[in-house]
């Protein structure tokens, strides 16, 4: 078993003393040292180096080692981003934001005590996401949509923008941000539709009763189940393919992120996007 140190250089030098910074989970701490990077023009730039340790098997095939390098890189990045969140609060520097995989690259893997490179000759490097070609539509149809929106002085739907932001956050490794953006889309889409349904279906009802159904005291999942069945004859609780279970699991994580500061993983972000897309489709059909 070899002990391997995963390290990156941050894009800047943090105003923190070098040393070990405790973190929960495997590895136990994040080590910061004052480092430097030589730029292509020969200038030397002071930057903070952050690193963690992990135990790697003495033998393994190249594919397994590459998978572990990716896992350990993500683990280091999560810890660095958590530290940066605390650093923002401690220093009041709003410009210090969480790093993407590409911004943190390259990730280096060195065996402790020997200085040998582990898991391949080159560091692990992520490239910034390139702009993909749209999967559907044409320049003419895109032009029509943009002209119509601009001409009507409207903005795109908040949920549509949030879902696009969530997909981008997933692609660059900001999984917690992706989950929260998805739930912003869910809240925006469902709550607005539910309020319209209550007003449309209960026009002659006691106004205070309508306000209760639309209000915060009548919780979101109550609105999605008994409330929705009452005003639209449909409940998300009975949707097929385990939709309610997926939605509840993602909702629980969303609450833990907001109230307890819990981290999120790639699968959590993918589930949130899946749930948000499905819910937007369901709401459109009501």
Helix (H) or strand (E) holding 21: strand 19-22
Say yes or no: 101 and 173 in one domain.
Answer: no
pTM for the predicted model, two decimal places = 0.67
Q: Residue 227 falls within a domain, yes or no?
A: yes
Q: Could you tell me the two tokens for 112?
A: 């402790």
- Mean pLDDT score across all residues of the chain: 89
For the segment 249-272, what is each residue's pLDDT rounded down to a tens digit?
999 999 999 998 888 888 999 999
Domain boundary (95, 111, 127) is at 111
Domain containing residue 82: 2-111
Q: Residue 147: left if φ>0, alpha if ψ -120 to 50, beta else—which one?
A: alpha
Say yes or no: 184 and 276 in one domain.
Answer: yes
For the segment 169-214, what is each residue's pLDDT rounded down to a tens digit?
888 778 899 999 999 999 989 999 999 999 998 888 888 888 888 8
Q: How far apart are CA 240 and CA 265, in angstroms?
A: 25
Q: Residue 142 falls within a domain, yes or no?
A: no
Pairing label, strands 44-56, 2-9: antiparallel
- What pLDDT, on a 0 to 100 scale, did the predictor assign at position 17? 94
Say yes or no: 172 and 83 in one domain.
Answer: no
Q: Could you tell me the two tokens for 126?
A: 């992520």
Say yes or no: 100 and 185 in one domain.
Answer: no
Domain boundary (50, 80, 111) is at 111
Q: Residue 151 falls within a domain, yes or no?
A: no
Say how many C-beta atoms besides its own lie within 10 A of residue 190's C-beta.
21
Q: How far apart are CA 179 and CA 225, in angstroms?
A: 22
- φ, ψ for residue 154, nearest 5 deg: -110, 160
């Amino acid at each position: 078993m070899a002990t391997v140190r995963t390290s990156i250089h941050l894009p800047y030098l943090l105003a923190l003393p070098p040393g070990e910074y405790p973190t929960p989970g495997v590895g136990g701490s994040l080590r910061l040292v004052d480092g430097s990077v030589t730029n292509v023009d020969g200038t030397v730039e002071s930057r903070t180096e952050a690193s963690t340790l992990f135990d790697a098997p003495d033998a393994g095939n190249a594919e397994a080692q590459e998978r572990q390098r990716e896992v350990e890189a993500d683990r280091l990045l999560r810890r660095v981003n958590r530290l940066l969140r605390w650093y923002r609060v401690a220093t009041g520097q709003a410009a210090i934001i969480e790093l993407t995989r590409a911004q943190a690259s390259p990730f280096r893997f060195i065996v402790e005590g020997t200085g040998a490179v582990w898991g391949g000759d080159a560091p692990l490097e992520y490239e910034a996401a390139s702009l993909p070609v749209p999967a559907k539509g044409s320049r003419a149809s895109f032009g029509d949509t943009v002209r119509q929106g601009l001409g009507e002085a409207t903005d795109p739907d908040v949920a549509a923008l949030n879902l696009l932001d969530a997909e981008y956050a997933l692609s660059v490794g900001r999984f917690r941000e992706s989950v929260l953006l998805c739930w912003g889309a869910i809240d925006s889409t469902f709550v607005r539709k539910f309020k319209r349904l209550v007003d449309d279906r209960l026009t002659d009802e006691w106004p205070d009763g309508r306000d209760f159904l639309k209000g915060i005291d009548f919780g979101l999942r109550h609105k999605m189940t008994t409330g929705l069945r009452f005003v639209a004859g449909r409940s998300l609780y009975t949707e097929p393919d385990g939709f309610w279970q997926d939605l509840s699991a993602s909702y629980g994580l969303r609450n833990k992120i907001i109230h307890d500061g819990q981290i999120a993983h790639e699968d959590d972000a993918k589930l949130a996007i899946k749930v948000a897309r499905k819910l937007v489709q369901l709401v459109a059909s009501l």
